[in-house]
Amino acid sequence: MSTLEIKGLRAAVAGKEILTGIDLTVRRGEVHAVMGPNGAGKSTLSAVIMGKPGYEVLGGTVTLDGEDMLALPTWQRAVRGLHLVMQYPTEVPGVHVDEVLAEALAARGRDVSALGDIIRTEAGRINFDADLVARALNVDFSGGEKKRNETLQLGVLAPRFAVLDELDSGLDIDALRDCARRVEAATHESNLGVLAITHYVRLLEELKPDAVHILVAGRIVKSGGPELADVLERDGYAAFA
Ligand code: ADP
Ligand code: MG
């Protein structure tokens, strides 16, 4: 079974250790939620998994089917099947969404001839205005359009594992449902494994997690089933800090 495995991961930003030892294993088709207070290191974890510049790995490993991801540049991690849905999607003036997708598919050695149809189908599934793909990536997109656009990319690229960094932030209820349902569908249709960083049980009602992990001060302090999210909703993080 294909796995994304994080072992003893420690990482620093700006000379300060933020991740102090993360252990997490996600198998394809599984959804793991990571919840934790602001500043716990959730976005740092997503950045280190994907290889965002500026993060120093101090120890530990991130492997996909046994292959060391930390040794690869970001684009090669993506080609291997890792995908990040960003908390704050980057605006890229002059580069259109459909061009990005065509390049990304070509880099994966996949056929791009039917891309227009695939984009229209995917856009329809999440109520995304397909005309937006001819516009510059995320430039002047609303918060909801940005996250729908991120979800569209995930649908088209069909990665093996996705890290969702607060997919729910900046989304209204309809957009949240559309995006979360598309990701949940991918766990069945293409056996997508998901690491879903979130503050809200609302997302997890759509995106049924197999496991919930609580991240506090750079480490996972508790793991459990979906009921753990309800405990957090009721009691907050105080009991785990
Ligand atoms: P979370 O996503 O859980 O809210 P982050 O991973 O964004 O937390 O941040 C964890 C800690 O790392 C915070 O104290 C934050 O200020 C710090 N941090 C993150 N990125 C940087 C950076 N580029 N420079 C300095 N500190 C950073
Ligand atoms: Mg964050």
Pocket lining: 13 vs ligand 1, CB cutoff 6 Å: yes
157 token code pair: 């690229």
SS3 194: strand
Residue length of the chain: 241
Q: What pLDDT digit, counting tens, does each position of 185-208 carry?
A: 999 999 999 999 998 888 999 999
DSSP alpha helix (H) spans, 135-210: 143-157, 173-189, 201-206
How far is residue 84 CA from its own chain's centroid?
4
The predicted structure's pLDDT at residue 238: 85
Q: Please give the DSSP secondary-structure letter assigned to residue 184.
A: H
Contact 36 CB / ligand 1 (< 6 Å): yes
CA distance 67 to 146: 31
31-35 and 211-216 beta bridge pairing = parallel
Tell me, using a 6 A CB cutoff, whether residue 88 lines ligand 1: no
- The rounded distance, in Å, linking the Cα atoms of 92 and 24 is 32
Please choose from 43, 48, 165, 197 the residue to mutate so as to test ligand 1's pocket, defined by most ligand atoms within 8 A of CB.
43
Structure confidence at residue 102 (pLDDT): 95
Cα 125 to Cα 93: distance, rounded to the nearest angstrom: 26
**pLDDT value, residue 163:** 98
Give, in order, the Cα–Cα distances in Å from 20 to each of 24, 40, 46, 92.
Answer: 13, 11, 14, 33
CB 167 within 8 A of CB 196: yes
How far is C-alpha 1 from the geometric centre of its chain's CA atoms? Answer: 20
Per-residue pLDDT of the chain (241 residues; tens, 9 = 90+): 799 999 999 999 999 999 999 999 999 999 999 999 999 999 999 999 999 999 999 999 999 999 999 999 999 999 999 999 998 899 999 999 999 999 999 999 999 999 999 999 999 999 998 888 888 999 999 888 999 999 999 999 999 999 999 998 888 889 999 999 999 999 999 999 999 999 888 899 999 999 999 999 999 999 999 999 999 988 888 888 7
Query: So what's the pLDDT on residue 23?
Result: 98
Position 241 scores a pLDDT of: 76
pLDDT of residue 170: 82
Q: Is residue 95 classed as helix, strand or coil in its secondary structure?
A: strand
What are the distances in angstroms from CA 174 to CA 147, 156, 161, 181, 203? 12, 21, 24, 11, 11
Q: Ligand 1 centre and the CA of 11: distance in Å?
A: 11
**What pLDDT was estimated at residue 239?**
83
CA distances for 221 relative to 60, 130, 224, angstroms: 17, 42, 10
- Tally helices (H) and strands (E) across the chain: 8, 12
- The pLDDT score that the predictor gives to residue 210 is 97
Assess whether the C-beta atom of 124 lies below 6 angstroms from ligand 1.
Answer: no
Instruction: Check pocket membership of 38 for ligand 1, CB cut-off 6 A.
Output: yes
